[in-house]
Amino acid sequence: MLLTPYDTQKSGAAFLAARKRALLADEPRVGKTGAALLASQRIGAERTLVVTTKSGGAVWRQAWRDWLGVTDCCISSKGALKKPTPNRNIIISWGSLVSQIDQLAEVQWDLVILDESHYAKNPEAKRSIAALGPTASPDYSPLEGAFGLTPYVWFLTGTPVPNLPPDLYPMLRFSVPDRLSEYGVLAYEDFYARYCRFYNKTMRRGNWSRSLRIGLEAKNTEELSEVLSGFWLRRTQKDVGIQEPIYEVLPLEVTDGQREELSNIWASGGMTATDLLDAADVGETKSLDIHLGPLRRVTGTIKARPLAELICEELDAGTDRIVIMYWHREVRDHFLKSLAKYRPVFIDGSCSAEERRAAQAQFKERSRVAVCQIQAAGEAIDLSNANELVFAEFSFTPKDMKQAALRITNHNQMRQPRVRVAAIAGTLDEALQRSLTRKVQSNRKVI
């Protein structure tokens, strides 16, 4: 028996089917996957390509069966697509897209669905160029992209602005260049300057230096909404009757010795707190990983100790289930050991699709704790039989945090979801949380 769509999925399908290029930006759990497949049926698509995350492949293959009764689809792994495939419907990961783009470009697709399309937010990234072409180039044409001639190209993401409005540019430049030209923001630099408040800063560390554009917040958001009008459709969880989480800071007390330990690690890198916060704002954590890696790892390990004790108390006092989000393996291992009596399950990047399904089933049936890596469990995971989630660690990207938090929300969630972020007061940990919050608030002005 096929699934029955919600009214919002029917309207989402109608929106997509009426447009050659469109962005369905509904929040997670509102029903984008079902809406897109229903729309593909409306336009009569016979050959469809879905680009999604590694974990999303199995979800899409099952969704084709559940929504349309279609079994003629396959997941293409790296190097598997030697020639145009006889299958009508192909699912490929963003990670494999670059290596297979030449073969994919040879196929005459009726429809390309770029799921989790925020993966193409950086116009200079290889995967963005593979899918859409060099959108930031002054002489760019949408026909330069592998799918420029595809009749229908639809974008799906619940986080269209992971950081700041420039994240939208590649999708808009590919899809509605005339609209950008109308508003005088066809060029990437013009778009960035028009819709983002920023300043330029030179980052120095010994002999290493780099000039960065530090994005601060969105601006001209009402005009940007006009630019997006007609191209995108976005419904929140609240719009469809799903309760949004309540967000709280969970302060943790640590010893003076632990505070000193954190302070020493921070000072040893020779960088100021301002530099670190700027790096978090602009998302340049990779280039600063030499400094930030040890700091975040030790911070997470220190927080895990008092947080595990607090969670034990809450579970013993009556909380039925709780989800813990982490970043580093050492933090995960501490929770698995400290909370062993609650039969914890874990989900990280090493888990196969079958292992992920098994962990979800065990958490629903008998486990009281799910310990999940923020990025690995941020998509295609349902943990909504719990209404409590705690971030033991955090990501510098607001999108990661929001996606992970929404794992405990669902149409069937009858309790108020609560998300708490553990922070050590009076340390850099707390300052970084404020930076992250500022970016999330800035994004909400747009979306």
**Above pLDDT 70, what percent of the chain?**
84
d(CA 99, CA 285): 26
What homologous superfamily is domain 246-446 in, according to CATH?
A: P-loop containing nucleotide triphosphate hydrolases (3.40.50.300)
Q: What is the mean pLDDT of the chain?
A: 85
Enumerate the β-bridge partners of residue 93: 52
| DSSP designation for 89 | E
pLDDT tens sequence across 410-423: 877 878 898 888 88
- At residue 204, the pLDDT reads 60
Q: Are 167 and 118 in contact (CB under 8 A)?
A: yes
Q: Are 245 and 419 in contact (CB under 8 A)?
A: yes
Domain 7-240 shares a fold with domain 246-446: yes
- At residue 379, the pLDDT reads 78
**CATH 3.40.50.10810 fits domain 7-240:** yes
Is residue 425 pLDDT above 60, yes or no? yes
Confidence grade of residue 283 (pLDDT, cut at 50, 70, 90): low
Confidence grade of residue 91 (pLDDT, cut at 50, 70, 90): very high
Confidence grade of residue 205 (pLDDT, cut at 50, 70, 90): low
Span 148-172, mean pLDDT? Answer: 93
- At residue 84, the pLDDT reads 47
Q: Please state whether 220 falls in left (phi above 0), alpha (psi between -120 and 50) or beta.
A: left
Lowest mean pLDDT among 67-71, 150-154, 210-214, 285-289: 285-289
Lowest mean pLDDT among 22-26, 280-284, 380-384: 280-284
Confidence grade of residue 201 (pLDDT, cut at 50, 70, 90): confident
pLDDT tens sequence across 324-343: 999 999 999 999 999 999 99
Domain ranges of the chain: 7-240, 246-446
Sheet with 388-391: strands ordered across? 246-252, 418-424, 388-391, 322-326, 369-373, 345-347
Q: Which residue has the higher pLDDT, 103 or 266?
A: 103
Q: Which residue has the higher pLDDT, 121 or 271?
A: 121
Span 370-391, mean pLDDT? Answer: 91
Is residue 78 pLDDT above 70, yes or no? no
- At residue 437, the pLDDT reads 58
Is residue 200 pLDDT above 80, yes or no? no
- Beta strands (DSSP E) in 266-398 are 322-326, 345-347, 369-373, 388-391
Span 412-436, mean pLDDT? Answer: 77
Q: Which residue has the higher pLDDT, 392 or 76?
A: 392
Q: Which residues of 163-200 are buried (b: 16+ CB within 10 A; e: fewer)?
A: bbbbbbbbbbbbbbeebbeebebbbbeebbbbbbebee
Tokens of 128: 């963005």
- At residue 79, the pLDDT reads 45
